[in-house]
Amino acid sequence: MMKNFHYVSSCAVLLLLLISCLFDKRLQAQEVEDEREFDYIEGSEKGPENWGNLKKEWRACNEGDMQSPVDLTSTRVQVIPELGKLHRQYWASSAFIKNRGHDIAVCIN
């Protein structure tokens, strides 16, 4: 009888642990989604036409001085003149841009 009780108790604890882990993963996924400071969706609250209003550092987005809130300040950009001119050769392909919340990815099909 006591052995049966321990088995049922262990199963119940294991089940609760499993459910809490699954629930925690769902919450984490929602948190990442909600952490986006901006997006590229036209007409959205955090879209391109509102970038300049989202943060005081992004005010220049309203003035046309910046294309996006991605930080490309001169202190972080390094110009290397000895690299020479950029030679481009490419073919059109199917691609899309994806905002992953912490960076932007270009996915080529």
Vertex 97: Cα angle to 30 and 37 (nearest 5): 40
Given 65, 102, 106, 107, which residue is catalytic? Answer: 102
What is the C-alpha separation between 91 and 108, in angstroms, rounded? 12
Active site residue 102: yes
Residue 106: helix, strand or coil by DSSP?
strand
Burial class (CB in 10 A: 0-12, 13-18, 19+), 54: middle
Residues annotated catalytic, as ranges: 102
